[in-house]
Amino acid sequence: MCSNCGDKSMSRQESAEMIGLQALGWLAGNEELLPIFLNASGASVGDLAAGAKNPVFLGSVLDFLLMDDTYVMAFCDSVGLRYTQPMEARAWLPGGEATHWT
């Protein structure tokens, strides 16, 4: 799943967390989007380091990223991922399970 992760023995959960960490790093370095994410999530800059160890928080980072195709494209282009990989990763983090409305 994670073409940049290198280790084929990595689980899907671990690969998803790695992509979430990459997204968090990208977001933390983005002066325009970071304040928007912090306001939307209620997190503070101080929460980012602790959040990096929390799969639920990493899922929220990917949720934010997935809200806008331009965010996804900019992130993927910067780290060399396919545009579908953040969505695939989100499915493997807590809260990312497909919802069935039947």
* Tokens 């689980």 belong to residue: 11
Decide if 58 is inside a domain: yes
Q: Domain containing 81: what range?
A: 12-91
Decide if 6 is inside a domain: no
Amino acid making up residue 90: R
Decide if 101 is inside a domain: no
DSSP code at position 9? T
Decide if 29 is inside a domain: yes
CB neighbour burial string for 1-14, b if at least 16 within 10 angstroms, e if fewer: bbeeeeeeeeeeeb
Decide if 55 is inside a domain: yes
Decide if 83 is inside a domain: yes
Which is higher by pLDDT, 95 or 100? 95
Decide if 36 is inside a domain: yes
When divided into structural domains, the chain yields a total of 1
**35-38 long-range contacts, CB within 8 A, separation 24+:** 37/61, 37/64
> What is the pLDDT at residue 1?
43
* Tokens 């929220």 belong to residue: 60
- pTM for this one? 0.84
Is the pLDDT confidence value at 5 over 80?
no
Taking the CA atoms of 65, 71, 76 and 78 in sequence, report the sign of the dihedral they define: negative
Amino acid making up residue 6: G
Decide if 76 is inside a domain: yes
